[in-house]
């Protein structure tokens, strides 16, 4: 009997998550002629509801076109299935005679697969294919989707630094990232020396103080006549509370899990108010980037595209040996794909290593810069010698 693969996408879309679908579908058909490849609409929700798309007869060309399209072409979901939901998923996967379920997502996705694997009969393989712009999966050097999002951020801060050379002032760009600062750090990827922005980088991994920010901004302005700041939406004060909560207090929107909604603009307005009060008459601007970076069609990295595709193909090969998580690792500067147990990744958050930050200043260290320049393409040729 021919093999049956089920593929689904979970969590926030990325610029290259469809490459992983394409890579898996193409590899499944190549390795297992006659294989049936089912896409689940809107992640596990589609499996629960028996809402499948048959990808088996799509041409390779169409699969590659889907791969080149940003965002989740099968649809995604924020559902975090409990035991009962998982039991229903298992039932539907059995009804579909699935040999393997490849679920593309972050650490929550790996967690769902861990529950499914524990509840299964051992015959079906549950494979986690990594994806997240937050770059916060343990066991991974970097994750598909991160490089493209980082490329948006690098372009944004390059441009904003040039903007604030032309019309001096203070600029703060607020970047997605509740716990991990990798994406915010990528603001520095194309910095040539200390005079280039972002002059200051604040990430969730280091306790944040608004007074320290204001002091830092004052120092940078004295040196360079302007100040460009990259700040994670998730920066937290020393008491462990999100900055936005410390600045505004109650009345903030919370999501279904009780988390304060970040990147809505509240934090931006609060920071703007602090800057205007401390630096009256100085041009000060805070932009909250929001969703723009995560799957922007104009800044998709070729490396990211290729790696995301390979992760999909590798997931199919991996499924022949039981459940696991695909990990994107680095060996001597080369990206290699490995298999790790689901429990090694599930529910865990990888933070930015402490040595990515300068020990005393709020800047990216040489170690952090080397990491970014290994992943991102080189900067465009910028020549602006006068201001």
| Of 13 and 234, CB closest to its own copies | 13
Over the window 166 to 195, marking each residue x when it contacts its own copies by CB under 8 A and - when it does not, the resulting string is xx---x------------------------
Over the window 67 to 96, marking each residue x when it contacts its own copies by CB under 8 A and - when it does not, the resulting string is -xxxxxxxxxxx------------------
Catalytic residue among 57, 62, 134, 136: 134
Tell me which of 108, 141, 245, 287 binds its own copies, using CB under 8 A. Answer: 287
Concerning whether 134 is annotated as a catalytic residue, the answer is yes
Q: Residue 4 and residue 154: Cα distance in Å, rounded? A: 41
For residues 183 and 368, the answer to whether their CB atoms sit within 8 Å is: no
């696991």: which residue's tokens? 324
Tell me which of 41, 142, 178, 199 binds its own copies, using CB under 8 A. Answer: 41
Cα separations in angstroms, 305 against 19, 55, 295, 342: 6, 20, 12, 24
Binding-residue total with its own copies (CB under 8 A): 65
As a residue count, the chain comes to 387
Tell me which of 265, 278, 351, 361 binds its own copies, using CB under 8 A. Answer: 265
Contact status: 20 vs its own copies (CB under 8 A): no
In whole angstroms, what separates CA 159 from the centre of its chain?
22
């603001």: which residue's tokens? 187
Q: Which residues contact 377 (CB under 8 A, 6 or more apart)?
A: 151, 301, 302, 303
| Of 290 and 341, CB closest to its own copies | 290
Contact status: 339 vs its own copies (CB under 8 A): no
Q: Which stretches of the chain are DSSP H helices?
A: 17-31, 44-48, 60-68, 83-95, 107-119, 146-166, 182-185, 210-224, 243-248, 266-278, 302-318, 342-345, 366-375
Catalytic residues: 134
List of residues contacting its own copies (CB under 8 A): 9, 12-13, 18, 39, 41-42, 53, 62, 65-66, 68-78, 151-152, 155-156, 158-160, 162-163, 165-167, 171, 253, 264-266, 268-269, 272, 276, 285-292, 294-299, 380-387
């Amino acid at each position: 009997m021919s093999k049956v693969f089920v593929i689904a996408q979970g969590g926030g879309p990325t610029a290259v998550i469809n490459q992983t679908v394409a890579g898996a579908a193409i590899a499944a058909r190549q390795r297992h002629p006659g294989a049936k490849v089912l896409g689940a609409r809107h992640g596990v929700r589609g499996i629960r509801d028996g809402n499948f798309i048959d990808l088996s007869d799509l041409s390779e060309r169409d699969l590659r076109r889907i791969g080149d399209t940003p965002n989740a072409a099968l649809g995604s979901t924020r559902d975090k299935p409990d035991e009962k939901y998982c039991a229903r998923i298992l039932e539907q996967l059995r009804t579909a005679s699935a040999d393997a379920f490849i679920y593309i997502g972050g650490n929550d996705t790996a967690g769902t697969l861990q529950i499914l694997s524990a509840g299964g009969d051992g015959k079906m393989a549950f494979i986690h294919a990594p994806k997240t712009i937050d770059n916060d999966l343990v066991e991974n050097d970097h994750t598909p989707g991160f490089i493209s999002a980082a490329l948006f951020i690098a372009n944004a801060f390059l441009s904003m630094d040039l903007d604030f050379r032309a019309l001096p002032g203070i600029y703060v760009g607020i970047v997605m990232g509740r716990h991990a600062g990798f994406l915010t750090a990528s603001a520095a990827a194309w910095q040539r020396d200390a005079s280039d922005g972002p002059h200051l980088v604040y990430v969730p991994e280091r306790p944040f103080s608004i007074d320290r920010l204001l002091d830092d901004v004052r120092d940078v302005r004295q040196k360079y006549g302007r100040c460009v700041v990259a700040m994670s939406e998730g920066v937290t004060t020393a008491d462990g509370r999100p900055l936005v909560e410390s600045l505004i207090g109650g009345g903030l929107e919370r999501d279904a899990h009780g988390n304060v909604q970040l990147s809505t603009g509240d934090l931006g307005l609060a920071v703007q108010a602090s800057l205007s009060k401390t630096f009256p008459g100085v041009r000060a601007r805070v932009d909250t980037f929001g969703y723009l970076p995560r799957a922007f069609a104009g800044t998709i990295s070729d490396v990211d595209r290729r790696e995301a595709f390979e992760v999909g193909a590798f997931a199919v090969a991996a499924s022949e040996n039981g459940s696991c998580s695909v990990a994107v690792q680095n060996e001597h500067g080369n990206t290699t794909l490995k298999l790790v147990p689901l429990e090694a990744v599930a529910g865990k958050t990888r933070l930015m290593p402490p040595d990515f930050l300068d020990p005393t200043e709020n800047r990216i260290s040489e170690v952090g810069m080397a990491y970014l320049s290994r992943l991102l393409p080189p900067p465009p040729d910028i020549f602006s010698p006068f201001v």
